[in-house]
Homo-oligomer: A and B are copies of this chain.
Amino acid sequence: MNAPVKAPEASAKEALVLFMPSGKRGRFPVGTPVLDAARTLGVYVESVCGGRGICGRCQVEVQEGQFAKHGITSSNEHISEFGPKEQRYAEKRDLKEGRRLSCSATILGDLVVDVPHDVQVNAQVVRKDADTRIIERNPAVHMCYVEVEEPDMHKPLGDLDRLKAALEKEWGVRNLEVDAHILPNVQKILRKGEWGVTAAIYQDEETSRPTMIGLWPGLKNEAYGIACDIGSTTIAMHLSSLLSVRTIASAGTSNPQIRFGEDLMSRVSYVMMNPDGREGMTQAVREAINGLIDKVCAEGGVAREDILDAVFVGNPIMHHLFLGIDPTELGGAPFALAVSGAVHLKATDIGLAMNAGTRVYMLPCIAGHVGADAAAATLAEGPHRQDEMMLLVDVGTNAEIVLGNRHRTVAASSPTGPAFEGAEISGGQRAAPGAIERVRIDPVTLEPRFRVIGTEQWSDEAGFAEAVQASGITGICGSAIIEVIAEMYLSGIISEDGVVDGALAAKSPRVRATGRTFSYLLHEGSPTIIITQNDVRAIQLAKAALYAGVKLLMDKLGIDHVDQIRFAGAFGSFIDPKYAMVLGLIPDCDLDKVLAVGNAAGTGARMALLNRNYRREIEDTVTRIEKIETALEPKFQQHFVYAMAMPNKIDPFPKLSLAVTLPPRKNVSEDGIAGDATPRRRSREDRAARRNRE
């Protein structure tokens, strides 16, 4: 791919040009504008003004030095001096040191040319986004400035027809379609721009015709897009420039559908029970999204009308409700999606107010329970782009699980329920100031120490009481639930089967009888926070469901281990991979290959927004992902039973064992009486050794 495009026998009048970061290179006659060379090689350099040197979008930078590997000595001597167009631009618009306009600068000798990924032209506030991933730019919308012939009685072609002719001549746009809303304004805009106008040309798929979706007088040197992940709990949106790759603003809001039902199935039930339930929820989510658009526009100083493209992802039920589709079919077997493929719409089709021509793209859904959000996360993390076997999990009330590599990818969902989010847990709460977020238990004394959101100190450190005064200690959030139960297991308070060992009540006042079972006192106060046998059971059920789903996928691929694990979503960002593995939430894996990747679905949506190749990539990938319906797999039940144990009844965790000493097997019956202590992987001595290490 990186071989020079032209024959290697270079004449004296040709030069070798290498573009970075793409690595594409070729030989070009001396005098060729750098932009032309880039286009010839398929290097994506933006240009709105069509080489007039006024938009400043085509900036490049010459890298100076010897590039022995490529046989190139690159120097600013090998590019033409500032021409009049660049002079004029630099005077007016402040061209950064070292930057050149590739439409004006011509090749004089061998060059290594850097195409910066974020050419900043307008003094736009740019958000330092958590996700600093560089996305190569190839959006579905292009801004094309043209100068149109004035009307001539002898050639009575209409104004729009001459505009089309100019777009074909200058930009190679053939068979252009035109949005209806533009027709009444064409003449006004052409005259206001004195026959110079910028057209927004939308073309997503190769098989579609390009469409003029917007038209502005003069040079319109900005265009924006939004990428939005519609979660059942939270809606997150990014506003990006389609001309640089910059994220201009980000915002989130809670999904107002929560008032119709906390989790997905209760929302489906609401639709089934209420004649106008679907419409109410569709309106609610669209209003929230319109509100978010306001928010990102205000933050970014961008007009809504300048948003021309939008990408949405969400789980199947969010996806359907957003599109106005009744999700009832998703509530029961065979869980039929109304549409699984990617969806193209106009924003006005679904009541979103941006530009009259704004387009909407929704990523495909993988299956009835594995949505466009999972597809977007897959796109972001790219298991299908690598050789290593990646497990990608997005934990929510439904865990979406994707497992695979470039050869084969499988996906499933597993009904984990809301325990991981703190629901169904006696002291559980959402992650918020006052919530316990980290827990350690001394394996000898069984005394806990913990940290609370909003406070730096641990509970056994000086100044903790003062620090925590403001928020109080209000409950225990998802990440800490994982940790406290894992620590209870590691310290022997619960057996591998999850039974609280009542015998320890004699040793520690923190282990106490609660009715017929025992519980562990984490914090005495107001409220008092205890971990009950039921809490342990709830987490066991949730983690067993997730693990069993993962195992089914591993069975499908015939593998006994995974190389990488990625946690997508908010939950994954706060839990400690080690404790997740001790609990047996995820299979054994090198701990440093377990990563939290944040809102991967949002990142995938942003990728699809900024580069349409990613749309084709995920559409193609989704058709090749094999879907496993966990409910239909006879082995699910067995995997689930084994997975109730910590970390697992039968699966070894050799890599975890390198980092953590797992306790020996300890059988305790439900009433808290320990039976035979069957030594498992480590002896009691090991356990003491571990205590000493800590």
The answer to whether A366 and B180 touch across the interface, beta carbons within 8 angstroms, is no
- Of A131-139, A320-328, A430-438, A472-480, the segment with at least 4 beta carbons within 8 Å of chain B is A320-328
The answer to whether B339 and A180 touch across the interface, beta carbons within 8 angstroms, is no
A652 to B153, CA, bound (A): 32
A343 to B366, CA, bound (A): 38
The answer to whether A187 and B335 touch across the interface, beta carbons within 8 angstroms, is no
A670 located at the interface, meaning its Cβ lies under 8 Å from any Cβ of chain B in the complex: no
A344 located at the interface, meaning its Cβ lies under 8 Å from any Cβ of chain B in the complex: yes
Given contacts A153-B368, A184-B324, 14 further A-B contacts (CB under 8 A): A153-B334, A154-B629, A156-B335, A156-B337, A156-B366, A157-B337, A158-B341, A158-B365, A161-B340, A183-B323, A183-B325, A183-B339, A184-B326, A187-B329
Give the residue name and chain of the B residue nearest to A360 (CB).
B180
A76 to B336, CA, bound (A): 49
The answer to whether B629 and A153 touch across the interface, beta carbons within 8 angstroms, is yes
Mark A residues whose CB is within 8 Å of B: 151-161, 164, 175, 177, 180-181, 183-184, 186-188, 207-209, 323-326, 329, 333-341, 343-346, 349-350, 365-368, 627, 629, 631-632
The answer to whether A326 and B160 touch across the interface, beta carbons within 8 angstroms, is no
**Pick the contact of A632 from B153, B187, B344 — CB < 8 Å?**
B153
Some 9 contacts from A to B, beta carbons below 8 A apart, are: A151-B329, A153-B368, A154-B627, A156-B335, A177-B344, A180-B350, A184-B323, A207-B209, A208-B209
Give the residue name and chain of the B residue nearest to A151 (CB).
B336
- Chain B residues contacting A627 (CB-CB under 8 Å) are 154-156
Question: Are A186 and B334 CB-contacts (below 8 A) given A180-B346, A207-B175, A629-B154?
Answer: no
- Chain B residues contacting A156 (CB-CB under 8 Å) are 335, 337, 340, 366-368, 627, 629
A80 to B528, CA, bound (A): 89
The answer to whether A339 and B208 touch across the interface, beta carbons within 8 angstroms, is no
The answer to whether B161 and A341 touch across the interface, beta carbons within 8 angstroms, is yes
Q: How far is the CB of A194 from chain B (nearest CB, A)?
A: 14
The answer to whether B326 and A159 touch across the interface, beta carbons within 8 angstroms, is no
A343 to B158, CA, bound (A): 12
A188 to B327, CA, bound (A): 11
The answer to whether A336 and B187 touch across the interface, beta carbons within 8 angstroms, is yes
The answer to whether A335 and B632 touch across the interface, beta carbons within 8 angstroms, is no
Give the residue name and chain of the B residue nearest to A330 (CB).
B187
- Copies of this chain held together in the complex: 2
- Chain B residues contacting A344 (CB-CB under 8 Å) are 177
**Pick the contact of A183 from B159, B186, B336, B338 — CB < 8 Å?**
B338
Give the residue name and chain of the B residue nearest to A623 (CB).
B157
- Chain B residues contacting A349 (CB-CB under 8 Å) are 180-181
Point out which of A188, A324, A339, A341 has the most chain B C-beta atoms below 10 A from its C-beta. A339
The answer to whether A152 and B186 touch across the interface, beta carbons within 8 angstroms, is no
Q: How far is the CB of A239 from chain B (nearest CB, A)?
A: 24
The answer to whether A158 and B334 touch across the interface, beta carbons within 8 angstroms, is no
Give the residue name and chain of the B residue nearest to A329 (CB).
B187
Question: Are A183 and B632 CB-contacts (below 8 A) given A159-B336, A340-B161, A344-B177?
Answer: no
The answer to whether A158 and B323 touch across the interface, beta carbons within 8 angstroms, is no
A152 to B337, CA, bound (A): 10
Give the residue name and chain of the B residue nearest to A631 (CB).
B153
Q: How far is the CB of A313 from chain B (nearest CB, A)?
A: 16
Question: Are A343 and B183 CB-contacts (below 8 A) given A156-B337, A159-B336, A365-B158?
Answer: yes
A324 to B180, CA, bound (A): 10
A161 to B154, CA, bound (A): 51
- Chain B residues contacting A184 (CB-CB under 8 Å) are 323-326, 338
- Chain B residues contacting A631 (CB-CB under 8 Å) are 153
Q: How far is the CB of A361 from chain B (nearest CB, A)?
A: 13
A341 to B632, CA, bound (A): 57
Give the residue name and chain of the B residue nearest to A163 (CB).
B339
Give the residue name and chain of the B residue nearest to A181 (CB).
B349
Question: Are A337 and B180 CB-contacts (below 8 A) given A153-B632, A175-B207, A325-B187?
Answer: no
Give the residue name and chain of the B residue nearest to A164 (CB).
B341
- Chain B residues contacting A336 (CB-CB under 8 Å) are 151, 158-159, 187
**Pick the contact of A333 from B153, B186, B326, B366 — CB < 8 Å?**
B153
Q: How far is the CB of A330 from chain B (nearest CB, A)?
A: 10
